[in-house]
Structure 1
Amino acid sequence: MSQPVAPKKLRVRGMILTGGVAAITIVGTRRSNITQKKEVIQDAHYEVDMISTLETRRAGLMQARQQWERKAKALQERIDGNKLRTIPGIGGTNGATDGSASSGK
């Protein structure tokens, strides 16, 4: 008569084990999802920080570029202005601009 009791105990034990495995699986899946969400959020924060850093660096580089362009423009204007000036003693009159040059012969 002890035989009918044993299968009932096994059935209950099997249901408890099945419930336990299901609970562990559900909890593990939830923890895994939470961990994945935290990683995604951390990655997003890192990316936002990186974008912010790169934007700041870009602004600095753009400002430096503008300064270099202004300096290049000023230098080019000086060069062009120097081309237009005539230097006394040098020119199309064989070095004599005031007519006082001696012939040396």
Structure 2
Amino acid sequence: MRIWDLNPCRLCRNHLLGEHRELHAVWSILTRHKKGYSRHPETLRWKGKLRALFLRHEALVKEMDKRHYAHRSPLPPRLATGRNKQDILLASSHQQIHILRLKKCDCDV
């Protein structure tokens, strides 16, 4: 489970769409109080920051639209509460770039 902290324009198709899918999973866990993955570090860092998660989703959707990918899973803005900025990183931006480079994908890193 990973939500990147890089600009979505840098992500390849697989990582952009994969992050979008995982973001929805984190959103569901936090808004519906589901237990699965509720203690995962990626989930925990978004606790109390649904507004920031919502804004990340909007950035992903903007990039998906730019690439002409269909998006049919909006998040309800009324649930976007809490802090609007994510200040906890599981890996620094440099570390995230390194991780993506090792994957040898089409990400712009």
Q: TM-score range by the shorter chain?
A: under 0.3
Higher helix share: 1
Structure of larger gyration radius = 1
Q: Which has the higher contact order (CA 8 A, sep 6+)?
A: 2
TM-score computed with the length of structure 1 as normaliser: 0.21
